[in-house]
Amino acid sequence: MSSRTVVIGVDSSTQSTKAAVIDAVTGEQLAVGRAPHVVTGEGGARESDPEIWWRALGDAVAAGLKESGLPARSVTGIAVAGQQHGLVVLDRTGRPLRPALLWNDTRSAPQAADLTAGLGGPGAWTARTGSVPVASITASKWQWLRENDPDAAKAAVGVRLPHDFLTERLAGVAATDPGDASGTGWYATATGAYDPVLLDLLGLDPALLPEVAPTGAARIGSLTGAAAEALGLPPGIAVAAGTGDNMSAAVGLGLGGAGLLDHPVLSLGTSGVVFAASRTRSTDPALSGFAAADGTYLPLACTLNCTLAVDKVASLLGLHREDTAPGGEAVLLPYLDGERTPDLPTASGLLTGLRHDTTPQQLLGAAYEGAAVTVLRALDTLLRACGLDPDAPEVASRPLRLIGGGAQGRSWVETVRRLSGRPLVIPAGGELVALGAAALAASAAGGGDPVALATSWGAGATGSQLDAQERDMETWQRVTSVLDRASEPLLGG
């Protein structure tokens, strides 16, 4: 065991940190250490202290190494994949000036609308960044900070994303990558650089921002002595630029220029996410036209309400999450945190179609259906952005890869299968975000393309495959009819 060479891939998500200890040659997952985060805020506010992420990173690495039984000297590289969009502002010592605004903090919805109009509308934004401002993106949060906490904005000498913050703690270098940077709203996928027009619009000095590495696998430095002591790792090991969580999951699945292109993925987590690696740069305002970690593109759509919202409905009904039945006439849009796709940031949940014979199990099933239809509608938009007709037989028969915690749940899998009418693949590899980060770390330490490396590891290999079944068009049409009529006033906005 001690002769193994390993890397550590870190998934720093909204709720927790996971540190996967991965064999750098075979890709075998040897251990995963975990540590929780703390999220605070009521209403639309969602914040976390970045120092908690750093402590959680240390705890997760220590737990992973202990579980693996390997000495720290076996580790040759580390990379962080982090939750996208969060805004971290730093003082001169590199310490956070205030809690970070998280991706699911919706208070900046008015600023997003003002920014969209300020540049000339959605088309002007997608032409530059590939994405239109919504409450989630970092630019909207920066504008909110300038208006609501101007002292912190003025005092900031560093502006970072969550993964940037942790990477800088590791290597002592302010660096990011094109993938995560493309979710800020001030990085232009059209040019591959920070956009001076957008920085001017935001009143953001480019000197506050990290340098953009060529890819997430680029070695941006070495683990500092202080970081090595804090994490119990050898000083001097490779630190990769890292990337955002969705970009890292794509690497872990072997999606990108050296792997599969235009193959859709549905991630069922706190948020519902659909994405695909593509050589086509998206300019569809309905999507986030992100860059991928390997130099390709990652068009993506994200809904705010997925597994967490459905679990809340289960809790309210006093049911286990798997105690469900098809919704029947009931339609439930579980927009408990507002919604990003469609862009209804101040929305609340909507329930309609109740009858005397509606059961609690049907209500829970309707919550699954509402969440699933919302994200599957975004899938059709995604496929069109990749230049594909979602209804063409050769496209409709292309398997939909399911990842995230929901992919391990029977009700989620069967609801997606029933409403999509697509064959499903549930990859064998677990912790795909951390696994993708490990591939970035291994590439930084030893060279090579991270997507090709992850493909050789077999991370995205099929664990189980479910054939397509006849699509439940009756439920689809019932839910989409309600969704199409939905508006902010109707949903409580």
Binding residues for substrate: 84-85
What is the phi/psi pair of residue 424, to 5°? -120, 140
Selecting among 245, 294, 380, 472, the annotated active-site residue is: 245
Give the residue ranges of DSSP H helices in 69-208.
109-119, 122-128, 138-148, 150-155, 162-171, 178-181, 196-202
Quickly tell me which residue has 């699933």 as its tokens: 372
Q: Is the peptide bond before 390 cis (omega within 30 degrees of 0)?
A: no
Length of the chain: 493
Gap between the Cα atoms of 195 and 449, Å rounded: 28
- What token pair was written down for 254? 């072997």
CA atoms within 13 A on the CB side of 350: 26
Burial class (CB in 10 A: 0-12, 13-18, 19+), 270: buried
**10 Å Cβ neighbour count for 413?**
18
Burial class (CB in 10 A: 0-12, 13-18, 19+), 274: buried
49 carries an active-site annotation: no
CA atoms 483, 489, 491, 493: torsion sign: positive
Give the residue among 161, 173, 151 at the shortest CA–CA distance from 222: 173
- What token pair was written down for 178? 């094109």
**10 Å Cβ neighbour count for 47?**
17
Tell me if 162 sits within 8 A of 54, measured CB to CB. no
Which one-letter amino acid corresponds to residue 293?
Answer: A
Q: What's the DSSP call for residue 433?
A: H
Gap between the Cα atoms of 395 and 253, Å rounded: 19
Buried b / exposed e over 367-391, threshold 16 CB at 10 Å, is bbbbbbbbbbbbbbbbbbbbebebe
Gap between the Cα atoms of 301 and 341, Å rounded: 7
Give the residue among 143, 154, 55 at the shortest CA–CA distance from 101: 143
Active-site amino acid positions: 245
